[in-house]
Amino acid sequence: MTHHGGDAVAYLTEPAAPQQAEPLKPYLIGAAFQAARVASSLSIETFVERTRIRALYIEALETGALERFAAPIYAIGFTRSYARALGLDPVWAESEMRHHVAAGTRAWRRPGLSR
């Protein structure tokens, strides 16, 4: 019986199999956006004029409040435009946002609406 108890302890203390890395969260993209904007010393209002993206949506991109967008396609399109205006790689930004949209589509499900 002692032998089986030892096996159980060894089994419980063996290292777990490596887990897949967690996907990047939208607020990390937002941190890159905000850092680039702050480094430029320009205000959100300046980027509103340059991109024609409302301040509400620029703030949503910077904070990861994706539920503010009516649909994922708006977050993706605005991500590309805002990245370009900030001097960041728009292809990278769009790719990252598409990844987040695919991983978290519930953000766009509104109460009372069926999909």
CA distance 88 to 80: 9
For residue 59, pLDDT over 80 is answered with: yes
pLDDT at residue 106, as a whole number:
54
8 exposed, middle or buried (CB, 10 Å; 0-12, 13-18, 19+)? Answer: exposed
pLDDT digits (tens, 9 = 90+) for 60-103: 999 888 889 999 999 999 999 999 999 999 999 999 999 888 87
pLDDT at residue 101, as a whole number:
83
For residue 25, pLDDT over 60 is answered with: no
CA distance 23 to 103: 8
Mean pLDDT computed over 14-21:
50
Task: Tell me phi and psi for residue 64, to 5 degrees.
Answer: 85, 15
Q: Residue 45 is encoded by which pair of tokens? A: 């209002």
